[in-house]
Amino acid sequence: MKQTCLLSLLALGLAATGCKKEAATTAGAVPVFAVQAVVAEAKVQPVNETLSLVGSVAANEMVEIKSETDGTLEEVLFTEGQRVKQGDLLIRLDESKFSASVNEAEANFKLSETTYERSKQLQRDKLVSQQEFDQAAAQYQANKASLDLKKRLMKDARIYAPFKGIMSSRQVSPGQVISKNTMLTWIVDLDPVKVELAVPERFVSQLQIGQKIEITVAAYPGRTFLGEVFFIAPFVESATRTAQVKARVENPKAELKPGMFANLNLTLKLKEDAIVIPESSVMASGDRTIIYVLDKDDAAQIRPVKLGIRQAGLVEIISGIKPGERVVAEGIQKIRPGAKVKASATAGSGGVRK
């Protein structure tokens, strides 16, 4: 009887002890804290689909100035680097020999013209034979052609600018005897310049005349030059599977030089109402792309999305999110599905903290 009572009391004591421990554990439980992270809002804004390429700058017009005849260089009428207009006199050769040759040809022409006119009158009066008249007519025509040629050669002694541009370095000096086709200098038209590039064939269908481009060159870091496509080749090169494309870029200060490499962004498509979020919000999970979206209770929920155009710091979401929904932009590695999130900062449209 006494033993039975002792066992009952022991059982009651153990039960009471267990209840106290359970109560202590419950009272000392660690509360769940919200994880701090940078939060961004999905926004609607225009985005451009661009193709990055490397091209080459070329002059609008660029030619070598050469002599069309032999002679002695009399005068150089331009300075290196000078801007000239179309038709400006650049170089003059010694014209004395050409002038004497023209005078001789004029004398022969006038004599043959007089003989020819006299022969016409005599032929009408039947005083000369047809053969004599034909010889006078032929001599007249030959002397006329000779005079025209000598005048043309004299004109070649003066070299004019074929178009407006900037003069390059000269390769000759006054008093120098030059021959036909001697290279004298260059003239370059640099406003506008052309940018030439090869576009892969898979993008050819998205090209059109008038498309805008942006280029940068190593000589002017941080500068962007704007241009417009004016030529698309009517065929694709079979060896490279690319099509040649040319664009004009305004260059009033002649900053862009022929031969420069141009890093180019070609705008292929413009979307006016794309949904965008910071690119840092996106994670890869196997063959899926996911983001953390905050629900109305600020809990992070995994959401699969489909991506579109990427820009600096931004990515377009084609499906999986609506404008105004909040996403975790930074601090993703600390987040778990269902975790409470406290926004420590708000990311702007470009993913930069405000």
Q: How confident is the model at residue 5 (pLDDT cuts 50, 70, 90)?
A: very low
Q: Show the CA angle centred on residue 91, arms to residues 86 and 97, nearest 5°.
A: 130
Beta carbons within 8 Å of 166's beta carbon, 6+ residues apart:
81, 82, 83, 84, 187, 188, 189, 190, 254
Three-class DSSP category at 4:
helix
Q: Would you say 170 and 76 are in contact if contact means Cβ atoms under 8 Å apart? A: yes
Three-class DSSP category at 110:
helix
Measure Cα distances from 284 to 70, 191, 275, 287 in Å: 74, 48, 19, 7
Stated as kind and residue range, the H or E segment containing 74 is strand 71-76
Q: Would you say 152 and 89 are in contact if contact means Cβ atoms under 8 Å apart? A: no
Q: Is the pLDDT of residue 1 over 80?
A: no
CA–CA dist 76, 86 (Å, integer):
17
Q: Would you say 62 and 257 are in contact if contact means Cβ atoms under 8 Å apart? A: no
Q: Among the listed ranges 5-9, 105-109, 160-164, 256-260, which one has the minimum average pLDDT value?
A: 5-9
> What structural domains does the chain harbor?
35-48+272-347 (2.40.420.20), 51-60+190-270 (2.40.30.170), 68-93+157-181 (2.40.50.100), 95-156 (1.10.287.470)
What are the tens digits of pLDDT across the range 34-57? 888 899 999 998 887 777 889 999
Dump strand ranges (E) for 217-330. Answer: 225-232, 242-249, 261-278, 283-285, 288-294, 300-304, 306-311, 314-319, 326-330
What are the tens digits of pLDDT across the range 226-241? 999 999 999 999 999 9
CA–CA dist 140, 259 (Å, integer):
54
CA–CA dist 321, 332 (Å, integer):
17
Instruction: Give the chain's length.
Output: 354
Res 6: pLDDT: 39
Res 333: pLDDT: 86
CA–CA dist 281, 238 (Å, integer):
42
CA–CA dist 21, 26 (Å, integer):
9
Q: Among the residues of 171-255, which ranges form H helices?
A: none
Q: Is the pLDDT of residue 159 over 60?
A: yes
Pairing of strands 35-41, 341-347: parallel
Q: How confident is the model at residue 348 (pLDDT cuts 50, 70, 90)?
A: low
* Whole-structure pTM value: 0.58
Rounded (10°) CA dihedral 216, 44, 324, 284: -50
Mean pLDDT computed over every residue of the chain: 84
Q: Is the pLDDT of residue 13 over 50?
A: no
Res 25: pLDDT: 44
Give the mean pLDDT of 143-164: 89
Give the mean pLDDT of 165-192: 91
Angle between helices 130-155 and 96-124 (to 10 degrees): 160
What are the tens digits of pLDDT across the range 90-129? 999 988 888 888 888 888 888 888 888 888 888 787 777 8
